[in-house]
Amino acid sequence: MSVRHISTGSPFEEQIGYSRAVVADGWVFVAGTTGYDYATMIMPDSIETQCENALATIAGALEEAGSGLDHVVRVNYIVPDPSEWHKCWPITSTAFAKAKPAATMISAGLQNLEMKIEIEVTARVAP
């Protein structure tokens, strides 16, 4: 089995010991991704901007893996405050308009209190 690891350079990847994405046998597994702007390590205040940032980071990792948001088959959203989740719907429905992946929203605490959403996806490598 061929395995390739993709990193975004986030300090969390090194500190915790994980890859942003792993490509294996035609699949791309993207780790739970929060809304940091990894270039500045700034976390925006709004869940909407955090959602946009997380999806941009995910899209970049998928592109590096030879995939993209249109090839996502599964997405998990983790949101500490479920009352804010609906604010992300316009963003996620646009991002996944073509893929329409199987999806789950889980309400749970995240690593840092400033984190309002974490997104994890599974995708196929583009044909």
The model's pTM is: 0.94
Residues linked to residue 124 through DSSP beta bridges, in sequence order:
27
pLDDT band for position 31 (50/70/90)?
very high
Cα distances from 60 to residues 57, 105, 107, 112, in angstroms, run 5, 22, 26, 23
**Region 3-124: CATH code:** 3.30.1330.40
- Checking DSSP bridges between strand 72-78 and strand 21-24, what pairing results, if any? unpaired
Q: What is the pLDDT of residue 104?
A: 98
Strands (E), the chain: 3-6, 21-24, 27-33, 72-78, 102-106, 118-124
Give tens-digit pLDDT for 102-118. 999 999 999 999 999 99
Give tens-digit pLDDT for 6-21. 988 778 878 888 889 9
